[in-house]
Amino acid sequence: MILIDLYMNNKKYIFLGDIDSINVEIIINSHHYLKNKLKYIIICNKFEILDYISKIKSKIKINEIIDPLKFSNYKINNINIFNIENKYKEKYKNLLNQIDISNKISQITGFDLITMPIDKSLFKKKIEFIGMTEYLGKINNTNTFMLMHGEKFSVMPLTTHINLKNIHKILNRNKLGENLKQVMDLIKLKRYKLNFRTIKFLCYNPHCSEDNTIGKEDGVISKLIDKNFKKITGPYPADSAFNNIKKNTLFFSTYHDQVLIPFKIMNKKGYNLTLGLKYRRLSPAHGTAKDIKFKKKSDNSSFLQCMLI
């Protein structure tokens, strides 16, 4: 009886993302493993996913869900979807509509939302769009933070997909302090299931600014964490920080590539976790990979992590 209750309460939603990708293939290839472990509904356009399934010649069947809040008429052996009609000619508008609906459903139920990869350039050419983390923060009127969780270590860039020349604008003491306080409060919440024994902050400039001869940014960081954040140490030179890493370590950085490059090289398994929403939003640590679409080369390990945590 306990096992049945755990299964019934373990529910998630999946925003399918860009159909021009490996997203559908990954979900289908994972279904046999997941179907007895949890219930999940894919939020997408029915005709697009049916067309994709036909092209890969899969025999799996689609079941259309009536009420995604109650998981009405759910069928364990089928791929369960909640259909969103394509109202617009522009692809990015239809995807935004799917994201908005996915967000509203997860807000109501509190169930996890897994967002599959999108091609951000489709959005950037039409609207101001930094990424999914920032967009979800905007439509929920809250600050959101991207945490990349790996089996060896985790990382959090305090800025994400922005031009490097704009990074210094967030390095004033007040803004940096506010962000760090929010993050430190968020990682304590039970719903995220995080347990970092070590938290390190990486230097902004090479060699931690060489006694302020390269810049004064690292002095700002050092004074801030020494005074206000006893659980954070640093800043540390980024070129040597990833040697002899202790388990359950989180690295803060001021910009994206400083931590994402070592993260993706050194962690074989990882996923993207958004902090700051009323529900858990997770995403696989890979892109659309449309160059290998239909080639049966996709790796579902990151997706499985998102689904099973």
Amino acid 84: pLDDT: 97
Distance CA 264, CA 284 (A): 12
Amino acid 6: pLDDT: 43
Which residues, 6 or more positions from 246, have their beta carbon under 8 angstroms from its beta carbon? 197, 198
Please count the structural domains in the chain. 2
pLDDT band at 173 (very low <50, low <70, confident <90, very high): low
**CATH number of the domain bearing residue 126:** 3.40.718.10
Q: 101 lies in which domain range?
A: 1-144+274-309
Q: Are residues 23 and 157 in the same domain?
A: no
Q: Are residues 212 and 192 in the same domain?
A: yes
Q: Are residues 262 and 306 in the same domain?
A: no
Q: Are residues 14 and 100 in the same domain?
A: yes
Q: Are residues 180 and 286 in the same domain?
A: no
Q: Are residues 111 and 1 in the same domain?
A: yes
Instruction: State whether residue 236 is helix, strand or coil.
Output: strand
Res 116 pLDDT > 80? yes
Q: Are residues 185 and 102 in the same domain?
A: no
Q: Are residues 135 and 215 in the same domain?
A: no
pLDDT tens readout for residues 99-111: 999 999 999 999 9
253 φ, ψ (degrees, to nearest 5): -140, 165
Determine how many CB atoms are found less than 10 A away from the CB of residue 10: 15
CB 173 within 8 Å of CB 166 = no
Q: Are residues 4 and 138 in the same domain?
A: yes
Q: Are residues 36 and 115 in the same domain?
A: yes
Res 287 pLDDT > 80? no
pLDDT tens readout for residues 218-255: 888 899 999 989 899 989 999 999 998 988 999 999 88
Q: Are residues 91 and 210 in the same domain?
A: no
Question: pTM of the prediction?
Answer: 0.89
Q: Are residues 140 and 160 in the same domain?
A: no
pLDDT tens readout for residues 138-157: 999 999 999 999 999 999 99
pLDDT band at 62 (very low <50, low <70, confident <90, very high): very high
